[in-house]
């Protein structure tokens, strides 16, 4: 009976598609849709999508050989599961008409992509079609739960993981996206600046990763050699490439702001890669491929909330500081009993928090006029920094404790942890009957 449930859900999706074909054409007089902006967002959407396979290689190369395929599939499956949820009601939860005081959208607003056909636009992106904005934001929703998987790699049942990622999407990601990016969202109204997802994506994934590592406890075999460091290098390249769509695409147009975001993204990542590697040398280690790759990704994470709000020189600072802080947290984590397999919390969670705080330090209104909150602490103003500090605490608590509850609920529905025998055999064989 249980085996028929997933396919049964897809049959329900077919019925919904027949009942709600969403063929009504939306026609807006004096539409401002711009072909140049539309072209750039089409490209950006594709760039952000390639980040998820990139993440699959990035994570897959770091685990043991017997768990490479299972780890990669945990990222890849998000492209399927989250897309279906997003089309049905996920986009509405994140960007639909405001409900409950700026914390969640009405699931019926864009149900089955209702109202997205024609020249309809999103209110904060009037120069691109609404359906394109929906698909661009979908790619953010796809990669966020995929980021979490590195924390519980090598010990989670695949079926249970799919249940958890659905719950995470509905109860953690969508409320944070709505609160932060919807014009009537609670955090948006307070003046929180998150250009491309430091709060919504990286902090939520990072704290969920920590909750997962604590809840699932340690692996029986914690020491292993990375299966394919070349995979990690390939994954880093794909992530860096795709991140230009992630950050520069979040300008929602092809103008100067997109160019600024692209430049800050490049420089922060480069500086972080060097900082991680040089800090390792300072600690007496040899410079390594893994260190350079992890550092580059930490820089990308940290600049994400700040990309369209800070100058290029300050992006260098953000990259360097984030790399050193994350490196130190990795060192701390290894001295605890927390088995965050691929250090998702130290890299994505901490990197996102550092980026959020430094946005409050270095943001300037000359970079982005949409910043109406004020300049950062570096320029003698305190308002933005204090808002970001308070938000950091609130979002951290929500993401951590909310994820912990969802893990418990998932475990009650379907056991999360594989058996010791399945873990010893490797998840590629025990969960998928495949091997590298």
Residue 265 in any domain: the answer is yes
Q: At residue 32, does pLDDT exceed 70?
A: yes
- Mean pLDDT computed over 26-54: 95
pTM comes to 0.96
- Per the prediction, the chain carries an average pLDDT of 96
Q: At residue 223, does pLDDT exceed 80?
A: no
pLDDT in tens, 267-317: 999 999 999 999 999 999 999 999 999 999 999 999 999 999 999 999 999
What is the DSSP-derived secondary structure letter of residue 151? T
Percent of the chain at pLDDT > 70 equals 100
Residue 22 in any domain: the answer is no
Alpha helices in 249-378 (DSSP H): 256-282, 289-303, 312-334, 344, 350-362
Contacts of 178 (CB under 8 A, 6+ apart): 93, 94, 95, 98, 102, 103, 104, 105, 185
Residue 148 in any domain: the answer is yes
Euclidean distance between CA atoms 237 and 44, whole angstroms: 16
Give 359's pLDDT tier (boundaries 50, 70, 90).
Answer: very high
Number of compact structural domains in the chain? 1
Question: What Cα–Cα distance (Å) separates residue 42 from each residue in 45, 86, 107, 135, 312?
Answer: 5, 18, 25, 9, 26
Residue 165 in any domain: the answer is yes
Residue 435 in any domain: the answer is no
Residue 7 in any domain: the answer is no
Contacts of 16 (CB under 8 A, 6+ apart): 88, 112
Contacts of 267 (CB under 8 A, 6+ apart): 312, 315, 316, 319
Q: At residue 373, does pLDDT exceed 90?
A: yes
Concatenate the DSSP letters of all residues of 369-400 into one string: TT--S---GGGT--HHHHHHHHHHHHHHHHHH
Give 1's pLDDT tier (boundaries 50, 70, 90).
Answer: low
Residue 12 in any domain: the answer is no
What is the DSSP-derived secondary structure letter of residue 113? G
Residue 311 in any domain: the answer is yes
Question: What Cα–Cα distance (Å) separates residue 233 from each residue in 218, 226, 266?
Answer: 27, 12, 17
Domain, as residue range, for 307: 35-181+189-417
| Residue owning tokens 């020491």 | 223
Contact present, 159 and 339 (Cβ < 8 Å): no
Per this entry, what is the length of the chain? 436
Distance of CA 110 to the CA centre of its chain: 22
- Give the SS3 label for residue 62: coil
Contacts of 336 (CB under 8 A, 6+ apart): none
Contact present, 414 and 165 (Cβ < 8 Å): no
**What is the model's pLDDT at position 431?**
95
Domain with 258 in it: what CATH number?
Answer: 1.10.3430.10
């Amino acid at each position: 009976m249980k085996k028929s449930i997933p396919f049964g859900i897809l049959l329900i999706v077919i019925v919904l598609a027949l009942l709600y074909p969403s063929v009504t054409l939306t026609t807006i007089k004096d539409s401002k849709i711009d072909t140049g902006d539309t072209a750039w967002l089409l490209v950006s959407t594709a760039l952000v999508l390639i980040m998820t396979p990139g993440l699959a290689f990035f994570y897959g190369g770091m685990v043991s050989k017997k768990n490479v395929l299972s780890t990669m599939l945990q990222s890849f499956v998000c492209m399927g599961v989250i897309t279906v949820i997003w089309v049905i009601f996920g986009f509405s939860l994140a960007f639909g008409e405001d409900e409950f005081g700026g914390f969640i959208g009405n699931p019926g607003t864009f149900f089955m992509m209702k109202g997205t056909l024609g020249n309809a636009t999103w209110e904060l992106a009037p120069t691109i079609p609404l359906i394109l904005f929906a698909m661009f934001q979908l790619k953010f929703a796809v990669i966020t739960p995929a980021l979490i998987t590195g924390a519980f790699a090598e010990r989670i049942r695949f079926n249970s993981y799919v249940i958890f990622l659905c719950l995470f999407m509905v109860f953690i990601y969508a409320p944070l996206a709505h609160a932060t990016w919807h014009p009537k969202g609670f955090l948006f109204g307070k003046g929180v600046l998150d250009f491309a997802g430091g709060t919504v994506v990286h902090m939520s994934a990072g704290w969920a990763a920590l909750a997962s590592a604590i809840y699932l406890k340690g692996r029986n075999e914690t020491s292993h050699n990375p299966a394919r460091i070349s995979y990690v290098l390939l994954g880093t390249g794909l992530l860096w490439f795709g991140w230009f769509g992630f950050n520069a695409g979040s300008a929602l147009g092809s103008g100067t702001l997109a160019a600024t975001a692209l430049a800050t993204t490049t420089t922060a990542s480069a500086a972080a890669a060097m900082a991680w590697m040089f800090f390792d040398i300072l600690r007496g280690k040899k410079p390594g491929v893994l260190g350079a790759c992890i550092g580059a990704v930490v820089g990308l994470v940290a600049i994400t909330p700040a990309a369209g709000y800070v100058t290029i020189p300050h992006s260098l600072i953000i990259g360097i500081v984030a790399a050193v802080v994350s490196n130190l947290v990795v060192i701390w984590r290894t001295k605890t009993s927390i088995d965050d397999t691929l250090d998702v919390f130290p890299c994505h969670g901490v990197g996102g928090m550092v980026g959020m705080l430094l946005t409050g330090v270095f943001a300037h209104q000359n970079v982005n006029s949409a910043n109406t909150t004020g300049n950062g602490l570096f320029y003698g103003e305190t308002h933005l920094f204090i808002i970001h500090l308070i938000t950091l605490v609130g979002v951290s608590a929500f993401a951590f404790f909310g994820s912990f509850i969802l893990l418990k609920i998932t475990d009650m529905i379907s056991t999360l942890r594989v058996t010791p025998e399945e873990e010893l055999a490797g998840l590629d064989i025990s969960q998928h009957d495949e091997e590298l």
